Amino acid sequence: MSGQKYKFLAIGVGLLMGFMWVVLTQGPLAPVKITVEKIQVGNLSNTVFGIGTLKARHSYNLAPTMTSRVKTVLVDQGDSVVAGQILAEMDPVDLDDKLAGSQRVVEKTANAIQAAEAQVSEAQSRLKTLSATFTRYEELRVGGFVSQEMLDAKLHEKNAATSAMSTASANLAVSHDEHSRAQADARGIGKARAQTRLLSPINGVVAARLVEPGSTLVGGQLALQVIDPTSLWVETRIAQQQAGLVRVGQVAEIVLRSQPHAPVTGKVARIDMVSDAVTEERIVNVSLKDASASIGEYAEVTLKLPEMNGTRSIPSAAVKRVDKQNGVWVLQDGRVAFKPVKLGLSTMEGRTQILDGLSDGDEVIVYSQQALREGLNVKVVSALVKG
């Protein structure tokens, strides 16, 4: 009987020890498994990634300047056009009649100018003749050959000719003014008539046709869009912390949504001076050669920057933010401690540059089974196995 008691006691002690082993190694009292890595020093490849929209650098929206009805549309999407080509025409209503009437007024005022010039020429001739006659009569009066009354009569004729000359000159000036005003009216009506025609401003391609004959457009409403197909670029949004590394002329790889397996090469063409304060992004325009893609299509852009030599880096997964500070959890004497660090750039390969805060011998915790805290008991493993 006593033997069985000892047997049961031994079994109980074994179970208790097994339970304690499970609690201490696998249960809540077990150390938290972590993976660590030391700082690596070497070349750090640097790339910048952004998502953008394919646009035409040179794009022109064509619209009437006043409310009008579409008379004809002569092109469709995809048509090639040349500069000055008529693409669509609005109904001119009565502009043709007004233009013809204004041109007749111009002709009438031109004739009035000719008549006024003839009157001036006649008045000049008459004034010249009467002035010479008056001078001769003055000489005769000095010699006593004519009376004062005859001299006064010639003076009156001369003064009348001078007044006639002034009147003729004034009529000529009025005729010129009337002619100028008529020409201005004709030009204005001519411009209004010309604006009923939508002309292509460049040699390009019709990207959009938004109207049909018979539809009515208000002033400024888009009718056609013409683009230069040789000036395509991707309007790319780059995070502000990375945008400072981008320079005009850098090579880029562009993956269009419609061609995910056929990346094309591009080049940084322009960097906008103004950033978006809300999204904390900056627009970088990346040009590309002709591509069979649609305007407005999304694209992924990767900019390859020069490698950074002799750079200290750690896995980006190790970087944490605690109490509004960027830092990493490190392993010190088997315990966990948080160290604030000064970070540099982060690469698409998952590494982050360390500028200050860590020594080369520090063991940085990359992954852990659970959230870390100061003084936590941990156990280093080569890799964490997903449960």
For residue range 94-131, list pLDDT tens digits in order: 888 888 898 999 999 999 999 999 999 999 999 899 99
Q: What is the pLDDT of residue 82?
A: 95
Q: Rounded to an integer, what distance in angstroms lies between the CA atom of residue 14 and that of residue 316?
A: 45
Query: Does 324 score more than 70 pLDDT?
Result: yes
Q: What is the pLDDT of residue 53?
A: 93
The per-residue pLDDT for range 158-190, each reduced to its tens digit, is: 899 899 999 999 999 999 999 999 999 989 888
And the tokens for 12? 């109980």
Query: Does 74 score more than 90 pLDDT?
Result: yes
The per-residue pLDDT for range 191-205, each reduced to its tens digit, is: 888 888 999 999 999
The per-residue pLDDT for range 285-298, each reduced to its tens digit, is: 999 876 677 888 99
Expressed in angstroms, the distance from the first to the final Cα of the chain is: 46
Q: How confident is the model at residue 312 (pLDDT cuts 50, 70, 90)?
A: confident
Identify the helix (H) or strand (E) that includes residue 308: strand 298-315
The one-letter amino acid at 363: E
**Which residues, 6+ apart, have CB-to-CB distance to 22 below 8 Å?**
none
Q: What is the pLDDT of residue 162?
A: 92
Q: Rounded to an integer, what distance in angstroms lies between the CA atom of residue 320 and that of residue 333?
A: 21
Question: Quick one: DSSP state of residue 386?
Answer: P
The per-residue pLDDT for range 236-266, each reduced to its tens digit, is: 998 887 787 788 988 899 999 888 888 888 9
Higher pLDDT, 47 or 75: 75
Q: Rounded to an integer, what distance in angstroms lies between the CA atom of residue 204 and that of residue 192?
A: 25
**Strand ordering across the sheet containing 204-209:** 59-62, 224-227, 204-209, 80-81
| CA neighbor of 265 nearest in space, from 238, 288, 292, 235 | 288
The one-letter amino acid at 197: R
Environment class of 12 (CB within 10 Å of its CB; exposed 0-12, middle 13-18, buried 19+):
exposed
Q: What is the pLDDT of residue 386?
A: 60
Q: Tally Cβ neighbours within 10 Å of residue 196.
A: 19
What average pLDDT is seen over the chain? Answer: 84
The residues facing 38 across adjacent strands are: 363
Predicted structure pTM score: 0.58
| CA neighbor of 302 nearest in space, from 343, 250, 232, 261 | 250
Q: Rounded to an integer, what distance in angstroms lies between the CA atom of residue 20 and that of residue 32?
A: 17
And the tokens for 316? 């980006």
- What number of helices (H) and strands (E) belong to the chain? 4, 22
Query: Does 268 score more than 80 pLDDT?
Result: yes
